Structure 1
C-alpha cells in the first residue's frame, strides 16, 4: 500500500496541514467569525446514534443511487468550491478522481480551471452559478457551460458577506506578483513538497477565475469577481424562477436552511435543493444542516430531490443524512484535504474512505441498499432537529 494512503478524513486533514503552507491550509479549514456553525455542522452528527441489527445482515450492499438524472456509484457528490490552489491540477485532479470513483462533480464559477478542461476529465459535471453581475452576464456564463457540455446547474444562494474570523483571516493576494512572492516565501519554503509540485509545472498558483469570463476574454482575479458579486443586488425568488427558465436540465439550489424557502424553491421549479450553510462560511450561528434536514425533507422531499452538505467526515455521516431524508450528500473540505494531502489519489482515497464507511454502516444496520435507510435506523435525541421557517413550529425544534 502507498505510504501516502490514509484511512480517515481526519488523517487526510492532518496530512494536508503538514504538506500545505499555513495560509493555504487555513483558507480551507476555517469558518466565519467564531466558527460556531462550522463546529456544529460536525458535532451534530455525533449526537445521532444507530440502531444496529446483529443477525440477518445482507452479504452484499448496494451503494449506488440516482441523483439529478445521473447514476452514481455512491451517494456522495463533489461540492463546488472556489480556487483550488492546494494542488497545481486543482479541479481537473478532482474531476478525474470523481470519475474514477463513479460520481458527479460540481464546478465553482470561482474555480481555478476552465470548465472545458474540467469537463473533459469528468463529463458528469454541474456548473455552479453565483448571482453576479447583470442577467446578461449570467446568461453568458450559462451559455459557456451549456456549450462545454455541463449536465446541470447549481445556483448557490448561501453566501453573504461574512469575511471576518475571530483568529484572523489568512492573507490572500489579488495577484502573485514579485512583492507577494517575497511575502509568501518563508511559509512556502517550509513546505518544500508543495513548492516542488508547482515548480515542476513552471507556473505559480493562479488566483484568477476563468469561468467568470467569456471564452477568449481575460479572466478576472478572484477578488475582482468577488467585488462584482458584492456590488450585485441579491436575487429574489422571481430571479431564481427566471434563471430556472433559462436552463432546461437539472437545476439545484444550494443554500436552503428553512422550510418556507424550501417551498419557495419548489415553486420556482428547481429539480433539487441542498440543505446548506456554506460549510460554516456564511452567517455564523446558523444551525447545523443535519438539524434542519428532517423538516425540509418531510416538507418537500416528495416533490424535489433533497441533498445535504456540511460536516460530512465519515461514511456513517452519509448514512445518517440518508436516514433523515437526503438523497445524497455533497462534500467540500473532505475532498480538498485529500487533494492537499496527495492530489488526485488523495481525493480518490477520501471517496474510498467514505464508501467503506457507508458499506460498513449498511452491514451493521442490516440494509441491502442505501434506499432502505430510514429514521428507524437512528436514535435521534429530543430537541435535535431545528425547524426554521415554519409558522406551526418554534425555532427550538
Structure 2
C-alpha cells in the first residue's frame, strides 16, 4: 500500500518523517556514527551487495516466520535492540514495548533507558534487560536482579563501546538536564518543530534525561552524563568478570558486540546463551566492517552451539532474510524503530515492525522457502571478497 498520512510504506520514509518532525539536535543524535561514519554506512550498504537466488513455481502458499530467542517465542525474527534515553516521544520505551508486544516479539531494554524497567516489563513480558559494565560487581548484580524482579526473562551485556564520541561532522549538543540554560539553547530548534513541542506539552512534561534503571527504586536518579561518567570510570570487564555475571544471573544471557570469531568462542566457553554480532550501529570502533560481513565467520566458529543474532543496518525484511541465510537466528533493530516512533509514536513503531514482517514473508515466497528455518547460504549470491574474517 502507498504511504498515507498515518502509514509509511518503508523505513526510509519513516526516517524522512522523523527528520521533518524532530529538532535538528535530537535527529542528529539518532543518526550519529563514530568518526567518519565508515562503519555506520557500511552496515547499511553491505546488504545491497548480497543477491538472491529466487524460484518461480511450486512456491509455498504459507510461510513460517516464528522462532525462539533466549527461551522466548517470537512471531517473527525481529527483536527490539536496547537503545538509551529516548527523547523522541513522551511514552518512550513503554510505547516501544507495547508495539513489540502487539507484534508478538521481544524487547531489549537499556539500563540507560528513560523509563523504569518495571513500567516497560508491564507492557511486554518478553523483555530482556540490558546492562553495561558500570560500577562494581555488587552494583551490576543488583541492577540485573532489579530487572529480574520486574520480569525480565534474560540479561544482555553490551560490550561494543570504546567511549569514542568524535564525529567528523560535529556532535549535536545534548544537555545533561533540561534546565533553563539548555532549554534556551534548544529553543530555536524546537520553535521550528511545533508538532514536537506540542506533543510534549500535551503530556505536560519535558523530555526526561535521567537514567532510572541504573539505581534502585527510590534512589536519586542520575543524569545521562552522570551515568556515562560512572561508566567511563569503571574498569573494563574481563572474561572472568563476564563468566561470574553469567553464573550469578543463572538464566538466558546474551553478550552484545561480538564481531571476532575468537570472542564468539570465548562467549561459548563462559556459557552464554546468545551473542549479538554488533558494532553498536557504527558507534564503536570506526572502520570495523559491517556486521553482515562478519556474521559468516562468527557462525562458522560457533555453529549451532549458541544462538546468534545480528544487529546493524537492518532497513528491510529482505535484509533480515539475508542475515538468517548467513547464520543468524534473528536480528535486532535500533534506528529503524526510533525513526518509526519519531514519525508516529507507538503506531509508528508498529508500522516499522509490520514493514519488516511483510518483507520477510515476501522474500521467503520469492525464494520458495516455507520457513525461515530453511534458509541457508545457497539462497544468496555472495560476491567474492564480501565476507570478512581474520587472517589465519
Which range, TM-score by smaller chain?
over 0.9
Runs of 4+ in 1 over 3 A off after TM superposition: none
Match of 2:9 in 1: 7
Residues in 2 aligned to 1:32 and 1:295: alpha-carbon distance in whole angstroms? 24
1:3, distance to aligned residue in structure 2 (A) = 1.6
* Alignment of structure 1 residues 172-321 onto 2, 5 Å: 172-321=174-323
- Residue 329 of structure 2, aligned match among 318, 327, 330: 327
* Partner SS for 2:157: strand
What are the superposed Cα offsets for residues 110-159 of structure 1, whole Å, 9 maximum, x if unpaired? 00000000000001100001001101110110121111111000000001
Match of 2:72 in 1: 70
After superposition, the CA RMSD in angstroms is: 0.8
1:4, distance to aligned residue in structure 2 (A) = 2.1
* Partner SS for 1:246: helix
* Partner SS for 1:275: strand
Residues in 2 aligned to 1:313 and 1:52: alpha-carbon distance in whole angstroms? 20
What residue ranges of structure 2 are gaps of 5+ in the alignment? none
Match of 1:51 in 2: 53
* Partner SS for 2:147: helix
Match of 1:151 in 2: 153
Residues in 2 aligned to 1:17 and 1:296: alpha-carbon distance in whole angstroms? 35
Match of 2:34 in 1: 32
What are the superposed Cα offsets for residues 17-68 of structure 1, whole Å, 9 maximum, x if unpaired? 0000000000001201100000000011000000000111001111111111
- Residue 160 of structure 1, aligned match among 159, 162, 177: 162
Residues in 1 aligned to 2:209 and 2:381: alpha-carbon distance in whole angstroms? 45
* Partner SS for 1:218: coil
What residue ranges of structure 1 are gaps of 5+ in the alignment? none
Residues in 2 aligned to 1:46 and 1:368: alpha-carbon distance in whole angstroms? 24
Residues in 2 aligned to 1:305 and 1:28: alpha-carbon distance in whole angstroms? 28
What are the superposed Cα offsets for residues 230-274 of structure 1, whole Å, 9 maximum, x if unpaired? 001100000110010111211000000000010001011100000
* Alignment of structure 1 residues 105-116 onto 2, 5 Å: 105-116=107-118
1:301, distance to aligned residue in structure 2 (A) = 2.5
